[in-house]
Amino acid sequence: MLPVSFVSLGLLAFTTVARAVTVSVSATASHPIPTTLWGQMYESGDGGLYGELLQNRAFQQVTPGTSGALNAWQAVNGATISVIKETVPVSPALPNALHVVIPSGRTGQVGFANTGYFGIKVTAGSTYTASFFYRFPTASSFRGNAVISLQTTGGQVLASTTAALSGAQTTWQQVTVTLNPTTTPSSTSNRFVIALDGAAASGQTVNFAMLSLFPPTFKNRPNGMRADIAQALVEMGPSFFRFPGGNNLEGGTVAQRWQWNATVGPLVNRPGRQGDWGYVNTDGLGILEYLQWCEDANMQPIMAVWAGFALGGTSVAEAALGPYIQQAIDQINFVIGDPTKSAPAALRASLGHPAPFALTYVEVGNEDFFAATSYVYRWKDFVNALKAQFPNLHFIATTNINNPVLTPKPTEYDVHVYQTPTWFAQNSFFYDSIARDGTKYFEGEYAAISTNSSDIFGSPATGRLTFPTMQSSTGEAAFMTGLERNSDIVFAAAYAPLLNHVSASQWTPNLVSFDAGAVYRSTSFYVQKLFSLNRGDQYIPSTLPSSTGTLFWSVVRATATQEIIIKVSNTVGTSAPLTFVLPFNTVASSGTVQVIQGSATTSNTPTNPNAAVPVTNSVSTGKTFTYNAPGFSVSVIRLVAH
């Protein structure tokens, strides 16, 4: 075997290029790649994945009379607005309403506006659906039009329509209209306005509740997903979607936990809840919307059930677990139950989905290593009850592996890690040393979030990243080659967190960032996409990388196309040659390489969203070939070889 040609030997002699690492590839596969391997972890979607454009649309979980209750709302042209506790609420779930008084002596359009989630994107040619409930708390002789519009902050009307309001309407009436902008403003600083003619409505008082504004959604689902964000997520080719959390499952208190039954049915029936990331969740993106999204995006759900622990530190006593276990059983029946046998399943059928959804994995809690002592009984009682009802489901434990020892023995664990890029590279062998005892692993949250090993969760000043960088993304890719190698026991893996509104960040870095107008795919997003779209179906062993080195690889086969797929992560700034030796009879003389590269600090940001994106080139291949991995790069080489 000649590892390199005489020509390249000559080049090597005159340059500082390192000696090529030789990677000998095995002739036979060691194990199939699980079809679930790459997917997404998700929690809480208001102002992001969920398509609703109005923030604080239903005054859920706010304190009436406070300025905080008016978050994202503002008066227009002298109206007096406040959030009140309604004497006749629009629904038991929504006790509050917007109380609007048109003072006497005003002229022109007087009303109120919503500024959206830090702006509203308005696009000419798109149809926006707006709706609201109104009632006059005191009957009046008023008859007139409400003008419903989209406007720039400067007052330019982008789309407008009217709806007749009647002062005789003292019970709640829903109004639905469409708005068709004919111009696309240059900015997203726009607002949604409802106004009355000041002179005609002088002195009138009107209450409004459950207001909504939707753009066209992904696959045009009513109450669906924001199309550009959904498109970015689908583009990664995820095979699963973990929901509803994450911390956001747990609630600060037991009462604030995520409850499936508070997230179904008409939007007016959803009370919303104080989420775990500092803001109120509308629960407009409820359990049915999550499941529908999984179907639309061709992903399987990895669904969590609340397991008796709230983030504030409360573990429910074992004797008191019964109702929570029943609620978990009901939640699962909503997803997969038989409508003729289960009320939650009958509810699903009544909401338009009589067939059960596909469900294999149920996660019991979240990060219960924070409450490991009580998890011993919580796991036992939840899983014994759930297994009895649903013998075909797999239940995922969320404590550290075998610490504490759980009964029944978990068949799956969810493992989380936030660390430095170097840690990820050096721990790409983590699963190589885990016992093959039948237990499978879900690397349910991982990300390189800091370059400072003394301060993983610190500030940008001490190394915490705002956006993924090529250094963090190559560290993750190194780790992912280890996940692929160990995919006989690692059945699923997801970067976390998934989404970040750049005007309201709570945790950085994230896989995908966005604002009201656009979506920004990070370098780590492209790494996830490269692995996911090139996952193959068989793992092929090869010479192992050095666990203390900086260059990592994995080799898989795509049986259907008779291809070998080689992934390489170079986690440092110096390029590095690798010589691959392939033992197959037929090996193409050329293939393709998709490569993303940059400097250590290259990030895709709102101001430079395409600083590093994958580029596809052809590459010379053969039974022996050398590939030079650029500094801070992830490469995917595909060639026909069999």
Ligand X SMILES: *[C@@H]1O[C@H](CO)[C@@H](O)[C@H](O)[C@H]1NC(C)=O
Q: Which residues of this protein are in contact with ligand X, per CB under 6 A?
A: 259, 261-262, 271, 323, 327, 452, 454-455, 458, 462-463
Give residue number: closest CB to ligand X: 455
Contact assessment for residue 431 and residue 486, using Cβ atoms and an 8 Å cutoff = yes
Contact assessment for residue 632 and residue 597, using Cβ atoms and an 8 Å cutoff = yes
- Residue 626 neighbours by CB under 8 Å, 6+ apart: 3, 4, 8, 20, 577, 578, 579, 580
CB nearer ligand X, residue 329 or residue 415: 329
What single letter denotes the amino acid at residue 546? Answer: S
Kindly state the smallest distance separating residue 460's Cβ from ligand X, in Å: 10
Kindly state the smallest distance separating residue 456's Cβ from ligand X, in Å: 9
CB nearer ligand X, residue 153 or residue 327: 327
CB nearer ligand X, residue 327 or residue 601: 327
Kindly state the smallest distance separating residue 490's Cβ from ligand X, in Å: 31
CB nearer ligand X, residue 239 or residue 450: 450
3-class state of residue 493 by DSSP: strand
Kindly state the smallest distance separating residue 323's Cβ from ligand X, in Å: 6
Scored b (16 or more CB within 10 A) or e, 495-524 reads: bbbbbbbbeeeeebbbbbbbbbbebbbbbb
CB nearer ligand X, residue 237 or residue 286: 286
Kindly state the smallest distance separating residue 446's Cβ from ligand X, in Å: 21
Residue 68: how many CB atoms within 10 A of its CB? 10
Q: Which of 272, 261, 276 is nearest to 56 (CA)?
A: 272
**Burial of 298 by CB count in 10 Å (0-12 exposed, 13-18 middle, 19+ buried)?**
exposed
Dihedral angle at the C-alpha atoms of 583, 585, 586, 590, nearest 10 degrees? 30
**Burial of 170 by CB count in 10 Å (0-12 exposed, 13-18 middle, 19+ buried)?**
middle
Kindly state the smallest distance separating residue 560's Cβ from ligand X, in Å: 46
CB nearer ligand X, residue 451 or residue 626: 451
CB nearer ligand X, residue 142 or residue 306: 306
CB nearer ligand X, residue 312 or residue 458: 458
Q: Which of 369, 377, 378 is nearest to 401 (CA)?
A: 369
CB nearer ligand X, residue 261 or residue 624: 261
Kindly state the smallest distance separating residue 93's Cβ from ligand X, in Å: 6
Contact assessment for residue 401 and residue 434, using Cβ atoms and an 8 Å cutoff = yes
CB nearer ligand X, residue 323 or residue 438: 323
Distances, alpha carbon 271 to alpha carbons 71, 73, 94, 263, 267, in Å? 17, 19, 6, 8, 9
Q: Which of 470, 405, 472 is nearest to 439 (CA)?
A: 405
Structure tokens at 142: 């008023």
CA 33, 626, 569, 433 torsion: positive or negative? positive
Strands (E), 377-472: 394-397, 412-419, 440-448
CB nearer ligand X, residue 269 or residue 538: 269
CB nearer ligand X, residue 201 or residue 268: 268
Radius of gyration of the chain from its Cα atoms, rounded to whole angstroms: 28
CB nearer ligand X, residue 326 or residue 407: 326
Kindly state the smallest distance separating residue 61's Cβ from ligand X, in Å: 12
Kindly state the smallest distance separating residue 513's Cβ from ligand X, in Å: 23
Structure tokens at 100: 């609007």
Kindly state the smallest distance separating residue 261's Cβ from ligand X, in Å: 4
Kindly state the smallest distance separating residue 212's Cβ from ligand X, in Å: 19
Ordered alpha helix ranges (H), 546-619: none
Cα 455 to Cα 449: distance, rounded to the nearest angstrom? 10
Kindly state the smallest distance separating residue 20's Cβ from ligand X, in Å: 34
Contact assessment for residue 413 and residue 398, using Cβ atoms and an 8 Å cutoff = yes
CB nearer ligand X, residue 423 or residue 584: 423
Cα 117 to Cα 450: distance, rounded to the nearest angstrom? 28
Residue carrying structure tokens 């008084």: 101
Kindly state the smallest distance separating residue 129's Cβ from ligand X, in Å: 25
Kindly state the smallest distance separating residue 260's Cβ from ligand X, in Å: 8
Distances, alpha carbon 167 to alpha carbons 106, 203, 338, in Å? 19, 12, 47
CB nearer ligand X, residue 140 or residue 452: 452
Contact assessment for residue 145 and residue 166, using Cβ atoms and an 8 Å cutoff = no
Structure tokens at 521: 């795919």
Kindly state the smallest distance separating residue 327's Cβ from ligand X, in Å: 4
